[in-house]
Amino acid sequence: MKFTDFAYEVKEGLGISFQAIRANKMRSVLTTLGIVIGIVSVTLMGTAIEGMSRSFNEMISKIGADVLFVQKFSWFSSQEDFFASRNRKNIDLKQFKAVRDQGSTIAAVSPMTGTRVPIKYRSLSSDGIILIGVNEQYIQVGGLNIEMGRFFSQAESNGDRPVAVLGYTIAEKLFPSETPLGKNVKVGAHSFRVVGVVSKQGSFLGMDMDNRVYVPITNFLQKFSNNRRGMDIHVKAANINDLENTKEELRGILRKVRGVKPGVKDDFAINQQEMFIQTFNQIGGVIAAIGLFITALSLFVGAIGIMNIMFVSVTERTKEIGIRKAIGARRSTILLQFLIESAALSLIGGIIGIIISYPLSLLINQILPTSMPISVVAIAILISLVVGVVSGFLPANRASKMDPVEALRHE
């Protein structure tokens, strides 16, 4: 078949399709509705999955990719491990110092511990703040940005000075109309001078990161010494491409300082961002697959609807098929005609579906940071086209194979 012939047949097929669709408006609308629902649910699911993954990536980026967390427990350990490891020794300042002094592949290191205390400035107070004890290097390790003032210095940190750096929302709450810098706030029973405010960070795993107050760890340990759970050591590696080396170095230092005998397993854990990503990819992948599968089912139901109506259409138009064959339509011509018709029905459904999905995706955007990706739009259009062609194939094939004599006799 020449290309021009094909083009004429496609054009003729399109004309016939739109005639047929218009001639059976109600039926076409109902059939298309199945595809509309299918495409809406699939695109929204795709959008939600995209949003989940994007919000995860945003969140995870707050844990620097090059930061290692020396902790008592592994982030993702099984129940069994937890019971086996709960009698582990706490991590203390001595171990932190060993890391600080011996680590050679380290850019910055800070101990970190925290507790929940109330904070007060004159008549304004806030209850559920997290007081964090760190050293001056935490500004690098934690990736903090300073909104105003400064982070506390090494001298302040080493000299146990009662200075504090406020999280963004605390600063807003306690100092609605004046600068917090240089003011004394009451943390628990103790007074601290504010030297800086951290820029807005948002939340991580549901924790409000702006609801924190940072003070020198030595000061923290003296004044809030009820600290049975010890501390963590946050380490920023010198070279992100050499993370494994840094990890090995830390292991060596900690095994030594914690007195772990050779051949015995580590009694501490070195956690990193990577573990989050792996776990998320596993869980997120499963959720995405299940979600898409379930929504794809509704698209499948829509496809069955199209197939059903196309069978009806073919039967109704038996006579027309006979006429067309008598005046020279080939099998392929008839096949193409009905394929175009079902593809057109489905494609219209797909396009309407996308038009409906778009405002709904804006609603999802209220919860998840997402927008309907152009790839989802393209895939949805492609899917609806494929669905139309596939579900139209059996009816179209039946039409194309009709015996012209029988078809002409049909009333």
Partner 1 sequence: MQPVINIKNVKKTYIMGTVEVNALVDVSIRIQKNEYVAIMGPSGSGKSTLMNVIGCLDTPTSGLYEFNGVNVGDMNDNELAKIRNKDIGFVFQTFNLLARSDALHNVELPLIYSGMKKTDRKVRAEEALGHVRLEDRMHHKPNELSGGQRQRVAIARALVTNPSIILADEPTGNLDSKTGVEIMGLFNDLHAQGNTIILVTHEEDIARHAHRIIRVRDGLIEKDFMVEDRVLPGVNV
CA distance 213 to 187: 9
Residue whose CB is less far from partner 1, 116 or 331: 331
Cβ closest to partner 1, residue 8 vs residue 76: 8
Name the residue nearer to partner 1 (CB basis): 166 or 345.
345
Query: Which H or E run contains 117?
Result: strand 106-121
Stretch that binds partner 1, among 45-53, 129-137, 322-330, 341-349 (CB under 8 A): 322-330
Does the footprint of partner 1 cover residue 87 (CB under 8 A)? no
| Distance between CA atoms of residues 363 and 367, nearest Å | 8
Q: How far is the CB of 335 from partner 1 (least distance, A)?
A: 12
Nearest to partner 1 of 8, 82 (CB atom) = 8
Distance CA 58, CA 202 (A): 10
The one segment of 78-86, 235-243, 258-266, 328-336 that binds partner 1 by CB under 8 A: 328-336
Binding to partner 1 by residue 282, rule CB under 8 A?
no
- Site size with partner 1, rule: CB under 8 A: 27
Residues in the chain: 411
23 binds partner 1, rule: CB under 8 A: yes
Among 30, 301, 382, 405, binds partner 1 (CB under 8 A): 405
Q: How many angstroms separate the CA atoms of 60 and 143, rounded?
A: 12
Does 27 interact with partner 1 (rule: CB under 8 A)? no
Single out the residue of 84, 116, 331, 378 in contact with partner 1 (rule: CB under 8 A): 331
Binding residue (CB under 8 A) for partner 1 from 234, 236, 324, 398: 324
> Rounded to the nearest whole angstrom, what is the least distance from the CB of residue 19 to partner 1 in the complex?
5
At residue 390, the 3 state secondary structure works out as helix
> Which residues from 2-21 bind partner 1, rule CB under 8 A?
2, 4-5, 8-9, 12, 19-20
For residues 48 and 50, give the distance between their C-alpha atoms in angstroms, rounded to a whole number: 5
Q: Toward partner 1, which CB reaches closer, 26 or 374?
A: 26
Chain positions 375 to 404 lying near partner 1, rule: CB under 8 A, are 403-404
- From 30-38, 221-229, 231-239, 315-323, span contacting partner 1 (CB under 8 A): 315-323
Reduced 3-state DSSP string for 130-182: EEEEECCCHHHHCCCCEEEECCCCHHHHHCCCCEEEECHHHHHHHCCCCCCCC
Place of tokens 């009816």: 395
CA distance 275 to 46: 25
Contact 79, 101 (CB under 8 A): no
Each as own residue / partner, the long-range contacts of residues 247-255 (CB below 8 Å, 24 or more positions apart, any chain) are 247/68, 247/272, 249/103, 249/104, 249/105, 249/106, 250/68, 250/70, 250/99, 250/103, 253/98, 253/99, 253/102, 253/103, 254/70, 254/95, 254/98, 254/99
Task: Find the binder of partner 1 among 325, 364, 370, 398 (CB under 8 A).
Answer: 325
What is the spatial distance between Cα 66 and Cα 108, in angstroms, rounded to a whole number?
11
User: Is the CB of 58 or the CB of 403 nearer to partner 1?
Assistant: 403
CB of 44 to partner 1, least distance (A): 37
Min. distance of Cβ 280 from partner 1 in angstroms?
56
Binding test (CB under 8 A) with partner 1, winner from 54, 190, 330, 410: 330
312 binds partner 1 (CB under 8 A): no
Residue closer to partner 1 by CB (options 189, 327) is 327
How far, in Å, CA of 63 to CA of 28, rounded? 53
Task: Tell me which residues touch partner 1 (CB under 8 A).
Answer: 2, 4-5, 8-9, 12, 19-20, 23, 319-320, 322-333, 403-405, 408
